[in-house]
Amino acid sequence: MAVTFHLTHACNLRCSYCYTGEKIHVGMSPDTAEEAIQFTLREAKLTNVTVIDIIFFGGEPLLKRSLLYSIVDRFNELLASDSAMKATYKLSTNGILLKKDVMVELANRKIYVSVSLDGAPEVHDAHRVGLRGEPTSQQLQHLIPEWLEWNPCMNVTCVVIPSTASKLDESVDWLVAQGFHYVTVTLDYSADWSSQDFKQLEKALKRLATIYERWHLKNKKVFVSCLDVKIQSHTRINMAACRCSFGISEFSISPSGRLYPCVQFVQEDDTNDYVIGSIQDGFDADKRAYLKQQSQLDKSECTGCAIVDRCSKWCTCINYASTGTLTQASPVLCEYERIAVPIADKLAHRLWKKRNHTFIHKQYNPSFPILNFIENLVLEDASDATYETTKIDR
């Protein structure tokens, strides 16, 4: 079960493509947080869940970091005597407040962090700006080494919009050059994409595939979602198990305590269209079932498509962001998938023909994610030891 705690509507950035609405200074109260914790645990027990994935979101959740820490501490306290259930913790942040003291608090609580960075400064600063429209990349770039020293397996999320589509390859290459091993690429599906934008995106994806191939031939282990996920949709028969369960085994809790089926739908928390209950009153079973049923209706526009079983048309958030409905597949996603799948398949074929060990290990060994995570941590520890020895020798 995945539960997202939306700690605040406020944010210290004003990204041009943000979908969460007005950055009002309304946050979750301690009393609401306690009710949300108790509701989550009751729901988990009711549905025989053994692992609860707790995600912290905003706005910018680190604006409410004291509350964030207390929520984690409270979960840990309540679960300490329950051997049948455990919780994991994740945080999505813009990174501005992710300084050393915050990293220590997060690390002590084993909270996994994903940071949003769009690439090199000129790309990032074009749309991820501060309260007065000022660039923000310089506030972040000097923090990256500290982040990766703290967690070499940190994920970075890169948002691609029409005006930056031509620089996708440069953005990912720059992020990997900084030391990131895990890059999640996501399109702004609500944007107005033209045929020319998609042509630029296709060229950039082809260049990125060439860079990706070069990394693998040099045994550089990097995960880039726009290529790896497409390859996995062919190599792994259980990809359907990774798909979201809209409003059923995942839901979002807004600062007010109202319940939504997914993060995209909370926004300013000022309409009832997609509310599926509250932590005080529980789920509205009829509304919950209706929205789930709507999200799972067959998409007539997908009939006969050669990649219908490999694309992400099942993602209700993407469809909603693009079309404003739950029942229509996103035309932006459709065009993107038609571009991305053949590029990923050709890339995979080239690496397979070369019997590239890194590629085969990553795509066909189910244990790869865990082994790679451990390897990165070991290498980081070895690097730290070498650094300390060098300092002593000097």
> If you write DSSP's letter for every residue of 152-205 in order, what string do you get?
TT-EEEEEE-GGGGGGHHHHHHHHHHHT-SEEEEEE-TTS---HHHHHHHHHHH
Same domain, 133 and 202: yes
Same domain, 207 and 131: yes
Cα 363 to Cα 228: distance, rounded to the nearest angstrom: 8
Residue 2 · residue 263 · CB < 8 Å:
no
Q: What angle do CA 290, 293, 295 make, to 5 degrees?
A: 110
Q: What is the pLDDT of residue 391?
A: 34
Q: Is residue 316 part of a domain?
A: no
Cα 363 to Cα 160: distance, rounded to the nearest angstrom: 25
Same domain, 149 and 209: yes
Cα 173 to Cα 234: distance, rounded to the nearest angstrom: 25
Same domain, 344 and 218: yes
Q: Is residue 306 part of a domain?
A: no
Cα 263 to Cα 4: distance, rounded to the nearest angstrom: 7
Helices (H), 54-167: 65-79, 100-108, 121-127, 137-141, 144-150
Q: Is residue 305 part of a domain?
A: no
Q: What 3-state class would DSSP assign to 129?
A: strand
**Count of the separate structural domains present in the chain:** 2
Which pairing describes strands 86-93 and 111-116: parallel, antiparallel, or unpaired?
A: parallel
Q: Is residue 392 part of a domain?
A: no
Residue pLDDT, tens place only, 35-88: 999 999 999 999 999 999 999 999 999 999 999 999 999 999 999 988 889 999
- Six-digit token string for 28: 């979750």
Q: Is residue 375 part of a domain?
A: no
pLDDT at residue 241 is higher than 60 = no
Same domain, 228 and 139: yes
Same domain, 348 and 219: yes
pLDDT at residue 289 is higher than 90 = yes
Same domain, 23 and 166: no
Residue 282 domain boundaries:
1-114+244-296
Q: What 3-state class would DSSP assign to 363?
A: helix
Q: Is residue 310 part of a domain?
A: no
Same domain, 15 and 28: yes
Same domain, 123 and 207: yes
Which residue pairs, CB below 8 angstroms and at least 24 apart, start in 218-223? 219/357, 219/358, 220/176, 220/358, 221/181, 221/358, 221/362, 221/372, 221/375, 221/376, 222/176, 222/181, 222/182, 222/183, 223/181, 223/182, 223/183, 223/362
Kindly state the average pLDDT of the residues 270-284: 95
Burial (CB count within 10 angstroms: exposed 0-12, middle 13-18, buried 19+), residue 221: middle
Kindly state the average pLDDT of the residues 87-96: 97
Same domain, 141 and 162: yes
Q: What 3-state class would DSSP assign to 57?
A: strand
Same domain, 248 and 108: yes
Kindly state the average pLDDT of the residues 231-254: 78
The closest alpha carbon to 336, from 355, 319, 349, belongs to 319
When pLDDT is cut at 50, 70 and 90, the band that residue 195 belongs to is very high
Kindly state the average pLDDT of the residues 283-311: 90
Q: Is residue 313 part of a domain?
A: no
Give the global pTM. 0.90
- DSSP-derived secondary structure letter, 301: G
Q: What is the pLDDT of residue 250?
A: 93
- Six-digit token string for 135: 């660039």
Q: What is the pLDDT of residue 37?
A: 98
Cα 351 to Cα 149: distance, rounded to the nearest angstrom: 31
Q: Is residue 381 part of a domain?
A: no
Residue 44's contacts (CB-CB under 8 Å, 6 or more residues apart) are 1, 52, 85
Kindly state the average pLDDT of the residues 212-218: 96
Same domain, 216 and 354: yes
When pLDDT is cut at 50, 70 and 90, the band that residue 247 belongs to is confident
Cα 348 to Cα 346: distance, rounded to the nearest angstrom: 5
Q: What is the pLDDT of residue 389?
A: 33
- Six-digit token string for 364: 């066909």
Q: What is the domain-level CATH number for residue 343?
A: 3.20.20.70
> Which residue is listed with tokens 């994903």?
114
